[in-house]
Structure 1
Amino acid sequence: MRRGISIAAAVTVIALSATACGGSDDNASSKPKDPKDVSGTITYWDTSDAANEAPAYKALISEFEAKYPKIKVNYQNVPFTDVEQKFKSAAKSGKGAPDVVRTDVGLMAEYASLGYIAPLDGTAALKDTSDFNTGPMNTAKYNGKTYGVPSVTDTLALLYNKDLLKKAGISKPPATWDEFIADSKTIKKKTGAYGTYLNPDAYFLLPLLYSNGADMAQPSEKKITISDAAAVKALTTAKQINDEASMKVDFANAYQNMQTAFKNGKVAMLVQGPWSVGDDLTGKAFKGKESNLGYAPVPAGEGGKAQAPTGGHNLAVYQGSGNLDASYLFTQFMTSTKSQVTIAEKTGTLPTRKSAYTDKVTSDAKIAGFKPILEQTARPRVALPQVGSLFTPLAQNYVKILQGDTSVKSGLDATAKEFQKLLPGYSIG
């Protein structure tokens, strides 16, 4: 689980600023080398699925080395669950960090604040930013600078079983949370299936917060907002979904049970991401009938706007890399339109460049389904270095609220107090 900034980490920032090879802001303004003259070996940490996605990335690396024969890439596949602590430990010590790392978009602010990754504005890594979709591009920014290049993206949507909705007499997926609850009750009454399965993970709470005009905090005002009236409304709705619309949640194994129930037709609707679709299509509700899987934006709240977090991965360059020019070229190549088209076609992940949504790419039903949803509803998480750490107390109190161990207001007040420990100088309210 992500943690806040420590004193030791702050000391590391100073040390890196003083000693990193070419690791200051001056890198961005220095004249880049001619690409054909760039040489050296760089290490790349890839967090893609080792079995199903990594082969496509390895093939691209071979193309890169053929194009730039003076540059060699030391490819290492690092499990997604391990890479955060492994990278932070290496960057902090100044030993063993990769030159380029594939990082979850939610970690960009923390890495940048700690001085672990280099600003890329003005470098070869960022040549044509206008081609990137706004949502993914915003995840790469921190304090007015760009610290990553969007590689793949995703968001949360409402996935639904078309047959079950039709059987229940529902002509279109719910557009609001109130409709979502009402439709769930209708589905249960007319089909025997449950309307939904509520995922108790705090990340999946974000659409409810956002669509009610709530968020964890407001950095511009240095305020913690997780316990304000809008957040109380969002959590009250979540509690109502749990109590009135959801299949009984097994909190010990919620995600797996949720997936099993949905793909086998025991649940009609889920708030989920594109990563789940491959698994969904293996169940009896969708196997051999992919067209039965529907895609819609997450429902809207009282504010009337449907919103969900922008997810995905960016490529970032280690501030202390001794081969910055090679790292910039590699980052540019791996996030180019051609590379993104290749990755999308081979792995089914969503590109971050507009030009990468070719006819062949959008022939994938999942990509075609999520593309307009990304454009309509995706927004970045609050840009705080401690954002990852905030999810821990939020998740703990969210579960207590859902289980009825505390009231919505008391649970959120407790969360706000824990946030205050992680956000020095922030007020509650």
Structure 2
Amino acid sequence: MRQKLVLVMVVLMVVVMAACGNSEGISETEGSDGKKQLLLWHYYTGSEDALNSMLDEYNQSQDEVEVVAEYVPFDEMNRQLSVGTAGDTLPDIVISDTVNNASMASMGILSDITSQVEEWGEADQLLEGPLNSAVYQDKYYGLPLTTNSLGLFYNEELLNEAGIEEPPSTWDELEKAAATLTTDDVKGFGLSATRSEESTFQFYPFLYSSGATYEELNSPEAADTFNFMKGLLDEGSMSQDVLNATQDDLTRKFIEGNLAMMINGPWMIDRIAESGEVDFGISQIPKDEEYVSVTGGDNIAVTSNADVDAAWNFLSWLFEPEQNEQFAKDTGYYPTRSDVLNEADYWQNTEHVKQFVPIMENAIPRGPSANWPNVSEAIQIAIQEILTGTKPAEEALEDAATEIEEIEAEE
């Protein structure tokens, strides 16, 4: 309800603003060379050069369509899309965080491209987890442009000194290894439990490994998951600092040698390696019933007022193996095509990077839910209540499940 009230207020404000002026951006215009010009919104900063290089290559490869990029700050993207919907000034193509895809589809911002995807016939080459993040009500409202996931980082020297020959692969092994590795100066295990999307992101694989889902937080499996994490905290294998720790904080402690194992993503590989302080490895997140990770990254979608055929011409080109591989490599993500991930030399042979390849095959999206920010907030509150001992796991999860049920009923 809160999201929808905010949206209504934004729409009313925009209608008034639209009466007084126009947006400078114009989508679907014809360029001086006769090409149909499409406007693409993105929030890339470090990856902007890679995107522009890809657009230049596409624009020079054919004579019908020209795609022009426009930067919109990450924190402004959702608001600007709401503004564009009200004022009929949407771009033609948008790059967005995967967790926002379902919300944009539910608000009518995106075009259903199911027929184009099915006619394309290459959806089966895309990794299942990232692809599912672009699905809303059994229809495709985009494609997964970039992806990454979470794994278990471990300090090889500390494990060797403790007589642990292999990184833990199950919850029981994780509990024992974390206790063995914990000393006065070192905590055996850490993950982010701060009240933000980072904690939902990090707890998600454990929740789903138990057989629970975000829609079944009042299940015995969910309670077992959170009680397991509370046990690591109570036993001293995990620091109380995790309640405020970001993924960046975890990495700093890992590099300093104060954290033996942590949950984190491939974006930290270079930072750890360049520090020269840690010999480390990466493995699957320890499992309860099955190995599970969670996807991050971006989706690319066609908006509701775009020329879908022209936009699809670009998307289908962008998802050819060569482009998918190049863009992933240039941006530091993983390719969303399974054939590229499993065949390209870079991801198969680069140290540490290759250790995430099998993890990517087990990664699932958060949600998808049209109300994900509110769903995630309910999970974050439960995490904090359980780990601080404010509420027993069963009570906190029952409250979260009730809140999520009410949130989802508003869709």
Q: TM-score, normalised by structure 1?
A: 0.81
Which of 103, 116, 121 is the equivalent residue of 1:110? 103
Code of the residue aligned with 1:162 in structure 2: it is E
For the residue of structure 1 that corresponds to 2:182, the secondary structure is: helix
Task: Report the structure, 1 or 2, having the larger helix content.
Answer: 2
Report what 1:222 is aligned to: none
Code of the residue aligned with 1:363 in structure 2: it is N
Which of 131, 139, 143 is the equivalent residue of 2:125? 131
For the residue of structure 2 that corresponds to 1:342, the secondary structure is: helix
Which of 43, 55, 58 is the equivalent residue of 2:52? 58
Change (3 A) 1:397 1:136: closer
Change (3 A) 1:241 1:311: same
Q: CA deviation at 1:273?
A: 1.6
**1:41 corresponds to 2:27:** no
**1:311 corresponds to 2:308:** no
Q: CA deviation at 1:425?
A: 8.0
Which of 189, 207, 229 is the equivalent residue of 1:209? 207
Change (3 A) 1:56 1:141: same
Which of 198, 214, 233 is the equivalent residue of 2:191? 198
Q: Deviations over 1:324-379 (max 9, x none)?
A: 3321112222222111221233233100113323113433334311111111x212
Report what 2:287 is aligned to: 300
Which of 211, 223, 227 is the equivalent residue of 1:232? 223
Report what 2:332 is aligned to: 348
Report what 1:75 is aligned to: 69
For the residue of structure 1 that corresponds to 2:301, the secondary structure is: strand
Over 6 Å off, 4+ runs? none
Which of 348, 351, 361 is the equivalent residue of 1:365? 351
Report what 1:188 is aligned to: 182
Write the distance in 1 (CA, Å) between the matches of 2:80 and 2:162: 49
Change (3 A) 1:169 1:132: same
Q: CA deviation at 1:299?
A: 0.9
Code of the residue aligned with 2:281 in structure 1: it is G
Kept after mapping to 1: 8 A contact 2:92/2:302: yes
For the residue of structure 1 that corresponds to 2:168, the secondary structure is: coil
Write the distance in 1 (CA, Å) between the matches of 2:242 and 2:339: 42
For the residue of structure 2 that corresponds to 1:392, the secondary structure is: helix
Write the distance in 2 (CA, Å) between the matches of 1:167 and 1:240: 24
Report what 2:14 is aligned to: none
Code of the residue aligned with 1:300 in structure 2: it is K
For the residue of structure 2 that corresponds to 1:270, the secondary structure is: strand
Q: CA deviation at 1:309?
A: 2.0
Write the distance in 1 (CA, Å) between the matches of 2:265 and 2:322: 24
Change (3 A) 1:145 1:120: same
Change (3 A) 1:261 1:7: closer
Which of 162, 165, 168 is the equivalent residue of 2:159? 165
Change (3 A) 1:421 1:166: same
Report what 1:249 is aligned to: 241
Which of 333, 351, 362 is the equivalent residue of 2:317? 333
**1:271 corresponds to 2:280:** no
Q: Deviations over 1:201-249 (max 9, x none)?
A: 12211112111111121xxxxxxx2122111111101111223221331
Change (3 A) 1:390 1:330: same
Write the distance in 2 (CA, Å) between the matches of 1:237 and 1:315: 37
Kept after mapping to 1: 8 A contact 2:281/2:352: no
Q: CA deviation at 1:116?
A: 1.3
Kept after mapping to 1: 8 A contact 2:293/2:359: no
Write the distance in 2 (CA, Å) between the matches of 1:79 and 1:249: 31
For the residue of structure 2 that corresponds to 1:423, the secondary structure is: helix
Kept after mapping to 2: 8 A contact 1:150/1:335: no
Write the distance in 1 (CA, Å) between the matches of 2:72 and 2:270: 22
| RMSD after superposition | 2.8
Change (3 A) 1:199 1:330: same
Q: CA deviation at 1:103?
A: 1.9
User: Structure 1: 5+ residue runs without aligned partners?
Assistant: 13-36, 218-224, 287-291
Q: Deviations over 1:92-145 (max 9, x none)?
A: x14332211112222222222222111112327972223222222222222221
Kept after mapping to 2: 8 A contact 1:124/1:328: no
Write the distance in 1 (CA, Å) between the matches of 2:41 and 2:298: 12
Change (3 A) 1:250 1:196: closer
Kept after mapping to 1: 8 A contact 2:59/2:65: yes
Code of the residue aligned with 1:271 in structure 2: it is I
Write the distance in 1 (CA, Å) between the matches of 2:71 and 2:267: 19
Write the distance in 2 (CA, Å) between the matches of 1:353 and 1:255: 27
**1:417 corresponds to 2:409:** no
Write the distance in 2 (CA, Å) between the matches of 1:215 and 1:6: 28
Change (3 A) 1:250 1:379: closer
Write the distance in 2 (CA, Å) between the matches of 1:89 and 1:228: 40
Which of 164, 168, 177 is the equivalent residue of 2:171? 177
For the residue of structure 1 that corresponds to 2:299, the secondary structure is: strand
